[in-house]
């Protein structure tokens, strides 16, 4: 069964089995990072930065599924329709600019020899919907390598929508769009390679640089932007 289809069925089951006033609000993934390598059968934690929903006490679900080619995250919030979801159109507009830093655990993947799986997630320009559990478009964020044994845990792949800013020391950093908490940013390893970064879908990896960059060793190595 394809991951997108599995995720849609999962959302339908949640609607059927939840509380009478519950509804599912699918959300898109702004940013995700995950281990570059894992051992076969080893569940792994994936960081997910998603848009929030305008509701009181929403319950988050990662909506993860896997098949023989990919791991797919179709995140959602389970919300109570009886609650006051938004005080005004202004509050909804403000919330549309705020992302939430969370995570999901992917199941262990099979590999008789070293191989790769795609990492996919719900992606769209706009995804606010608390009335219908409609599946969102799924995009490819990158790959993960699965080895029978001996996976290297030191590097994390990363991809998503990012913004660039220059700090008070003149160092270029990137952070997921809509995420404003302290420590959400990453130093760009190649400080000269920042063309097109004010707002872009980027991919790369997070690792320990051979030498500190802007005083930090844990940095983001940019590979692609579009």
Given CA atoms 26, 27, 29, 35 in this order, what sign does their dihedral have?
A: negative
Q: Which residues of 187-197 are buried (b: 16+ CB within 10 A; e: fewer)?
A: bbbeeeebeeb
Q: Tokens in use for 64?
A: 């993860």
Name which residue leads in pLDDT, 68 or 199. 68
Q: Is the pLDDT of residue 5 over 60?
A: no
Q: Is the pLDDT of residue 104 over 60?
A: yes
The arithmetic mean of pLDDT across residues 54-67, rounded, is: 90
Q: Could you state, in order of their start, the residue ranges of all structural domains in the chain?
A: 3-147, 156-225
Longest CA–CA separation in the chain, Å: 56
How many Cβ atoms are within 10 Å of 68's Cβ, its own excluded?
8
Q: Where is 141: in which H helix or E strand?
A: strand 138-147
Q: Which CATH architecture has domain 156-225?
A: Beta Barrel (2.40)
* pTM of this structure: 0.81
Phi, psi of 67 (to 5 degrees): -135, -160
Q: Tokens in use for 86?
A: 């938004």
Q: Is the pLDDT of residue 9 over 50?
A: no
The arithmetic mean of pLDDT across residues 91-117, rounded, is: 84
């Amino acid at each position: 069964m394809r991951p997108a289809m599995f995720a849609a069925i999962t959302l339908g089951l949640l609607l059927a089995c939840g509380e009478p006033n519950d509804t599912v609000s699918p959300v898109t993934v702004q940013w995700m990072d995950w281990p570059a390598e894992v051992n076969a059968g080893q569940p792994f934690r994936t960081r997910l930065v998603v848009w929030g929903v305008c509701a009181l006490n929403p319950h988050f679900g990662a909506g993860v599924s896997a098949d023989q080619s990919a791991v797919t995250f179709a995140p959602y919030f389970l919300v109570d329709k009886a609650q006051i979801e938004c005080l005004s159109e202004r509050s909804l507009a403000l919330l549309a600019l705020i992302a939430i830093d969370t995570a999901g655990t992917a199941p262990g993947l099979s590999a008789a020899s070293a191989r790769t799986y795609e990492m996919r997630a719900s992606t769209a320009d706009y995804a606010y919907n608390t009335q219908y559990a409609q599946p969102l478009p799924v995009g490819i964020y990158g790959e993960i390598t699965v080895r029978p044994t001996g996976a290297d845990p030191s590097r994390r792949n990363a991809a998503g929508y990012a913004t660039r800013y220059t700090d008070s020391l003149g160092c270029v950093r990137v952070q997921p769009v809509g995420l404003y908490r302290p420590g959400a940013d990453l130093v760009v390893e190649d400080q000269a390679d920042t063309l097109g970064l004010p707002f872009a879908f980027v991919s790369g990896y997070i690792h320990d640089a051979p030498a500190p960059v802007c005083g930090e060793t844990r940095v983001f190595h940019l590979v692609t932007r579009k």
